[in-house]
Amino acid sequence: MNRLVTIGLTALAPLSWGSTYAVATELLPPDRPLFTSAMRALPAGLLLVALSRTLPKGAWWWKSAVLGTLNIGAFFPLLFLAAYRLPGGVAAVLGSAGPLFVVGLAALLLGERARARNVLAAVVAALGVSMVVLTGDAGLDPVGVVAGVVSAASMGAGTVLTKRWGRPEGVGLLAVTGWQLTAGGLFIVPIAALVEGAPPALDGRAFLGYGYMMLINTGAAYWLWFRGIGRLSATSVTLLGPLSPLTAAVIGWAALGQSLSPVQLAGMVLAFGATVFGQVSGRPGVSGRPGRATQEPFSSSEETDRNVSMDLADGPVRR
């Protein structure tokens, strides 16, 4: 039961990310993806660091920079570049291949066995996503394809390294999430300034959209995602990723008046079924060769309550 709850809570992260397109198109200034990326990550990271009152120490300065760059700083711009260069949902299909990178990297770095059924779940999920998002005018721009593949690989590597390195002893997840979001946001800011220029004028709708992006879509979502990485196998977590494009399709149908064809509906069923199969076939807990800081699986509700309390506490600076 504890594993099912953890899976359900972790799944809230990609479900939230699936709302990004609708919020961006309805509430945010147009054609400012890098500014939006920075506004998602940096304020959320600074807020979490302030709440935790905990700064990195020693090797965790560079580890946080690496993880923040892989999971956010490089991932966001590459994802948007792929979306701009690849019409018809090709970027979403390339992104849905991320679990395949994680399966390979987890076998190499974590000792997680590369099971055939996990590979099958990843391939079927990608096929289902392609049925949902691809259209007849889909093109293959080389720059966009490379950006899409590298963005998926970046997030995959970030997921596996987050699992391998865990977090420093005595430091809550709130602080570690804040470190990564801050590092990722700081990576994006100069790129956004160089490519897009000065920040746009913001109205009330934009502040509402950015507030949602910062607090729910990024701060809370990444906290849940990293929490899941600490308690499940890296493969199980990444196989929840296809829920994001599926959620975007459902929101587009329900809130934006977009239609869903029978092929798209079949693709949604296929991708969702593969996602569920990936969790049923996954192993609970931590296995393989985790790094020294990696958190062990939680064996009791008392231990879970203790760690959640530590995550949310406003304690002093810790190791």
Q: What is the pLDDT of residue 112?
A: 85
| Whether 184 contacts 154, CB under 8 Å | no
Q: Give the least confident one: 19-23, 84-88, 246-250.
A: 84-88
Q: Give the least confident one: 115-119, 240-244, 252-256.
A: 252-256
Neighbour count for residue 108 (Cβ, 10 Å): 12
Q: Which position has the higher pLDDT, 220 or 111?
A: 220
- Band of residue 100 on the pLDDT scale cut at 50, 70, 90: confident
Instruction: Report the C-alpha dihedral over residues 159, 165, 168, 172, rounded to 10 degrees.
Output: 20
- Band of residue 225 on the pLDDT scale cut at 50, 70, 90: very high
In the predicted model, is pLDDT for residue 284 greater than 70? no
Q: What is the pLDDT of residue 298?
A: 32
Instruction: Tell whether 192 is covered by a domain.
Output: yes
Q: How far is CA 260 from CA 55, 134, 135, in A?
A: 47, 12, 12
In the predicted model, is pLDDT for residue 58 greater than 90? yes
In the predicted model, is pLDDT for residue 3 greater than 70? yes
What range defines the domain where residue 116 resides? 2-283
CA–CA dist 214, 194 (Å, integer): 22
- Band of residue 196 on the pLDDT scale cut at 50, 70, 90: very high
User: What value does the mean pLDDT of the chain take?
Assistant: 82
Neighbour count for residue 281 (Cβ, 10 Å): 16
| Whether 63 contacts 179, CB under 8 Å | no
CA–CA dist 255, 18 (Å, integer): 13
- Band of residue 130 on the pLDDT scale cut at 50, 70, 90: confident
CA–CA dist 121, 280 (Å, integer): 10
Instruction: Tell whether 289 is covered by a domain.
Output: no
Residues of the chain with pLDDT > 70: what percent? Answer: 82
For 192, the enclosing helix (H) or strand (E) is: helix 173-196
| Whether 11 contacts 233, CB under 8 Å | no
In the predicted model, is pLDDT for residue 282 greater than 80? no
Instruction: Tell whether 225 is covered by a domain.
Output: yes
**Block residue for tokens 């005595």:** 170
Residue 78 has which token pair? 């590459």
CA–CA dist 160, 170 (Å, integer): 21
| Whether 232 contacts 284, CB under 8 Å | yes
In the predicted model, is pLDDT for residue 289 greater than 90? no
pTM for the model stands at 0.82
- Band of residue 164 on the pLDDT scale cut at 50, 70, 90: very high
Q: What is the pLDDT of residue 192?
A: 94
Length of the chain (residues) = 319
CA–CA dist 15, 17 (Å, integer): 6
Instruction: Tell whether 40 is covered by a domain.
Output: yes
Q: What is the pLDDT of residue 293?
A: 44
For 279, the enclosing helix (H) or strand (E) is: helix 262-280
Number of domains forming the structure of the chain: 1
In the predicted model, is pLDDT for residue 206 greater than 60? yes
In the predicted model, is pLDDT for residue 14 greater than 70? yes
Instruction: Tell whether 245 is covered by a domain.
Output: yes
Q: What is the pLDDT of residue 209?
A: 94
Q: What is the pLDDT of residue 69?
A: 97
In the predicted model, is pLDDT for residue 59 greater than 70? yes
Instruction: Tell whether 295 is covered by a domain.
Output: no
What are 232's strand-pairing partners? Answer: 284
- Band of residue 89 on the pLDDT scale cut at 50, 70, 90: low
Closest CA to 3 of 228, 160, 255: 228
In the predicted model, is pLDDT for residue 305 greater than 50? no
CA–CA dist 131, 100 (Å, integer): 18
Q: What is the pLDDT of residue 315?
A: 38
Instruction: Tell whether 57 is covered by a domain.
Output: yes
Closest CA to 171 of 109, 226, 233, 216: 226
Q: Is 291 left (phi over 0), alpha (psi -120 to 50) or beta?
A: beta
Residue 132 has which token pair? 């949902």
Q: Which position has the higher pLDDT, 154 or 252?
A: 154
Instruction: Tell whether 229 is covered by a domain.
Output: yes
Q: Which position has the higher pLDDT, 260 or 68?
A: 68
| Whether 160 contacts 298, CB under 8 Å | no
Q: Which position has the higher pLDDT, 251 or 69?
A: 69
